Amino acid sequence: MKKMVIIMILALVLGSVFIYKEILSKKDHKMEEVSMTKNKLKNASIIKKTEAYTIYELSFRRGGKKIYGNLYVPSRDQKQYSLVIMAHGFGSSYSYLTEYASKLVKNGIAAYIFDFCGGSSYSRSDGEMTKMSILTEKKDLQTVFDSLKTESFVDQDHIFLMGESQGGLVASLVAAAAPKEVKGLALLYPAYVIPDDARKTYKDLSEVPDTYGIMGMTVGKIYYQDVYKMDVYQKIKDFKKNVLIIHGSADTIVPIAYSKKAIKVFKHAQLKVIKGAGHGFYGRDQEEAANDLVRFVKQNMA
């Protein structure tokens, strides 16, 4: 009987020690993962360095896929900076956002531009366009956001999202899903029209083929499948902080009516109309939009 009691006590002790070691092991592993994320910038390649700022090549991973991007960090005597994470449009690339990133960093604001997985045929991120959708891009942007917010140079209380066209819809969904973490939302001609396009093109979800063409590019069934039943305005209404929407009055791809409706849905939103501009800003229109973006971020940095 005594032997049985001793054996039971030893088993309990050894079991407790094993569980304790497991907890420590998991805790150490988690700390290591966080540490690796926080130190990621130290191992990033420098693309360009000036007296005013540094551009790093910085990538992340989601589900085994690489998300390629460039990080713009001011060279000021500050420990932390406000950050704007920017999302490109359909079939586009991070390279179309370089002017906005440059304008921000020259004004003391950090910026990150990246390629969505399967975001275009020339994307520097992994993935195929036939497997890309609004929801896969939402996951990409969320991964980028979660990774960058842990970096020591980032002011976690002032992380903004900015998106153009399809990227504007994606940024809106991410902001609505994390309303406490996103400080503000800036949108250029956001493509809230996409679900309507899906329903107008195919009368029933079952009619959507495995692959089809949109604006000269081939996408997969998942592209329209993921938004077919989506009520955009119902999805985005949960974001209660400040929103800036910039839209061209001559946009025929995403009619400005979609943005006019959005500012009524968001609790605090303003619409800036650029007269005569279409879908995409260039030259003076882009300069005006970039200045508006900087002004919006600075106004919300307090």
d(CA 158, CA 193): 29
d(CA 42, CA 243): 33
Burial 16-34 (b: 16+ CB within 10 A, else e): eeeeeeeeeeeeeeeeeee
What's the CATH code of the domain at 126?
A: 3.40.50.1820
pLDDT, tens digit only, all 302 positions of the chain: 444 444 444 444 444 434 334 434 443 333 333 333 445 677 789 999 999 999 999 999 999 999 999 999 999 888 899 999 999 999 999 999 999 999 999 999 999 999 999 999 999 999 999 999 999 999 999 999 999 999 999 999 999 999 999 999 999 999 999 999 999 999 999 999 999 999 999 999 999 999 999 999 999 999 999 999 999 999 999 999 999 999 999 999 999 999 999 999 999 999 999 999 999 999 999 999 999 999 999 999 97
pTM for the full model?
0.86
Distances (CA, A) of 111 to 39, 151, 224, 255: 18, 13, 30, 28
Residue 33 lies in a domain: no
Residue 258 lies in a domain: yes
217 backbone dihedrals φ, ψ, rounded to 5°: -120, 145
Residue 28 lies in a domain: no
d(CA 148, CA 145): 5
Q: Amino acid letter at 177?
A: A
d(CA 138, CA 151): 21
Q: Which residues contact 139 (CB under 8 A, 6 or more apart)?
A: 62, 63
d(CA 219, CA 213): 6
Residue 191 lies in a domain: yes
Number of domains observed in the structure of the chain: 1
Residue 192 lies in a domain: yes
Predicted pLDDT at 25: 41
Residue 25 lies in a domain: no
Residue 29 lies in a domain: no
d(CA 77, CA 13): 54
- Return the CA Rg of the chain: 23
Residue 21 lies in a domain: no
DSSP 58-80: --EEETTEEE-EEEEEE-SS-S-
Strand boundaries in 52-188, DSSP class E: 53-57, 60-62, 65-67, 69-74, 81-87, 110-114, 154-164, 184-188
Name the residue range of residue 101's domain: 44-299
Predicted pLDDT at 276: 97
Predicted pLDDT at 131: 98
Report angle CA 285, 286, 290 to the nearest 5 degrees.
Answer: 120
Q: Amino acid letter at 160?
A: F
Q: Amino acid letter at 259?
A: S
